[in-house]
A = this chain, B = another copy of it.
Amino acid sequence: MSNSKTPSEAGSSSQHYRLINDIYVMLDNGDRRALLPFNLTTSQYNALLLLDDTNGQRLVQLSERLLLDKSTITRLIDQLEQAGLAQRVTDPDDRRAQRVILTPLGVERRDQAQIAHNTSLEQRMSSLSQDEQHQLYELLRKLRTGLLDDLEQQDI
C-alpha cells in the first residue's frame, strides 16, 4: 500500500547530489591509484602541494587550507617527517608555532608525484573536450567563491 517511491519533486536535487558524490568518489579513487607508486595518501599529497623547502608553513595554516582538524595535521606532518619528506622548525618569533618545510627528498617527491598525478587527472577528465573542461572549471571556480562566502556566514 504505502509503496514509497522517492518523492519525485525532490528527485532532481537528490540526483544532483548523487551526481556530485559519485564523481568525487571516483576522482578520489583515481587520485589514490595515481599516488600509490609514490607512497602517498591523498591527504599527504594535499599537504605536500602546500609546502616548499624555504617558506615554512604553520600547522594551523595547513589546517585551515585543507579544512582538516589541527590534530589531524599534527599526525599528518608526523608521517611526512617520519618518511623524511618534511621537517618541523620552531618559529623563532613565536615559540608556540612550528614551521613545516620540505626536505630535498620532499621537494623531489612532491614534484614527481605532482607530474604523475596531473597526467592521471588530465587523462581521467578527457571524456570532456578542452572546451567543456574550461567551462566546467569556470563554473566550479564561481561555485567555490559562493561556498566560501557561505562558510564565512556560518562561522560568524
Contact = CB atoms under 8 A, between A and B. Distances in A.
Interface stretch (A16-24, A69-77, A84-92): A16-24
Per DSSP, chain A at the interface is: helix
25 contacts: A2-B104, A4-B102, A10-B115, A13-B121, A13-B122, A14-B49, A14-B114, A17-B118, A17-B121, A18-B49, A20-B24, A21-B46, A22-B67, A23-B140, A23-B143, A24-B24, A25-B67, A124-B147, A127-B142, A127-B149, A128-B139, A128-B146, A132-B139, A136-B136, A139-B139
Interface of A: 2-7, 10, 13-14, 16-27, 29-31, 33, 46, 49, 52-54, 67, 102, 104, 107, 111, 114-115, 117-118, 121-122, 124-128, 132, 135-137, 139-151, 154
